[in-house]
Structure 1
Amino acid sequence: MKNAWFKKTNHLLKQGLLGGLLLLSGYPNVESQAQPSSKPKEAPLTLVQRMGYSMGSLFKIMLYSPNPEQGGQLAEKALALIQAQDDLLSDWKNNSELMRVLPQAWPHPSPISNPLYEALIEALHYNQISQQAFDISVGPLLSLWGFRGGGFSIPSPKALEQTLKAVGSDKIKLYSDPPRLQLLAPGMKLDFGGIGKGRALDLAGAYLRQQGIQSAALSCDSSSLFIGAPPNSPRGWPVGIKAPDQSEAILKGLWLQDQALSSSGDNQQFFEKEGIRYSHILDPRSGWPAPYRGSMTVLAASAAQADALSTALLILKPEEGKLLAQQEQIQAFRVWGFEANWQIEIINAQSLPQSNTAPVFQGHL
């Protein structure tokens, strides 16, 4: 059983598979290769790979280091930082700080740690700039629709109205000195699923940069963060945007460095009733799933930004999404359609450097 698990996860690591994204194989591997002759004294770089489960996902780290042993230690430390975010923000673990604090934060303020305070500040920022389309207080709605614990069902108008009383970031109040959290309505549940993984990748990436790593790719599910470029690949890391189905077809290729990418879509969690698909991406303002079939991939400066705004852009009206993309200087790739007839639209294309665009890779890898 253990051997079967190892073979499966090792295959995933080598392929760099992401939900909605694909780190294309064939990136330069310079293991045991010397650096260019202009720098003869530098040690050759070796590709180091590590992976670990956290936040219900397989996190993968690939980095280049002149010292494989040290590089492995750095990758494992980065994975430990990711695990620390899970211990902080998980809404599935009863012993996470978030789950310990929530019952105490209503109706009176409850002390919280600086890391939780910073995570809340970042989440509230994206709520504010997205016209409340991104909202970590969506937890009660996810439970109502059955996306937490199963039992999918379309709620009645009365149940929806009652649940919305416990939703809204305007009901989250933070105090800074000392850090405290207060919830202004009973029954509130905070869910960092739309930003937690991106934030974890940012913290792990910041650590690797501080330790001198200049080339790395960190990924989980549909989010990824890239540091520099692989040796002998000055254009960056080759990444493909996949069709939001089981085909694995590559719709567009990109070369990325010092950037983050995240994809959200209705294919990740959903149920169907009478031919209509209901997605787990819920509009916290109305309580209904985003009226959209397909996926949204965001290219941004940080993984948390890409993570949060890929969700927000699925919920916002197209014209509102374009304004947000321009305001935040991000690029987005909207995929819609059915089966083999997927279409892709670039939002805020004028901000996408020409050097980042790779040929569209057709077919399967």
Structure 2
Amino acid sequence: MRSIGEMARDSGLGVSALRFYDRAGVLVPAWVDPVSGYRWYEPGQLEEARLLARLRRASMPLADIRLVLAGWSGPDTDLVRKLLTAHLRRLEQGLSGARAEFSALRALLDHRENVMTSLRTASVRLSVAAPALAAALDAVRFAASTDPELPMLGGVLFDIEGESLHAVATDRYRMAVARAAFTGYEGGRVQVIVPTPLADAMRALLDGEGPARLSLDGDRVTLEAGDRQAAGRCLDHDFPDYRRLLPRPGGRRTVVEVAAFRQALETGPVRSGEPGAPDLSVLRVADGGAVAVCADADDDSDRVAVNREFLLAALAAGARDRLVLELGAPTAPITIRRPEDEGTLSLLMPVRLES
């Protein structure tokens, strides 16, 4: 018999994936210890696990995988061959369709008036309180992307309009927005993307109580605090229109005590998915308005699953003893706001739970 750890090592599936496929009824262990719940597999199941790993890497749906595994060792492999051929055809058709759509999108982009270019060309001089800008950067930094394939998200957007500087960061799966008041600039709206290393260098200057001076000249941005400064070039990309993604206050709103909620997340049940997938915390608003961390087996249509690491980072960035959580439908983003400033918020995309 192979332990679940040995099966994970030899099959390439991972312990969390083996648990997932057990729950899904795709690869059920030969024996489960009734006391410890530990899973054990027969030697012959290793080939089945390796086959399963190949099929999932090829993105075959679980329903088809069940049929392939059922027919793999049988005398008649006609059904297996048909399933493999049909899936390959779907992949080829999907790739062809995606190429056509992306070609059309590129053509639209080539002919679209680039509004962002004009927003980056202005010269700006403004003054902002160092603690306010430091707090804004601290509130959004965790959401900045590190994906080299998406360089336009590899920084913090400075959106300057009216009397507010909005700092924004997103990696597609989460977004954070914070604002700081400024003085000294009365021109039109200006947006620049400050590369993450430069944003970090700016944050390091903001350890005092006095004002900081921000200057924008074309594609160059400079922050001065006292006799120190950090300067560099902005990213030459367009940032997504984050305002379209901002939710209106609504859904099920509840105030959480951050310390207690963090402890519940860190010590409570998690749901593990497929290989490489993050641990998920499954949340629901209980009777009375409290947010509960659900056990994996809980059956509740109002459950919302979220990347636990992302949620913990958002709570830390909120920098308050109490925060407001908004939970909508299971497919709606989770919003975390400060009670006294609802314009400073974090947005976390939910994760779809496999039934």
TM-score range (shorter-chain normalised) is under 0.3
TM-score by length of 2: 0.26
TM-score by length of 1: 0.25
Larger-gyration structure (1/2): 2
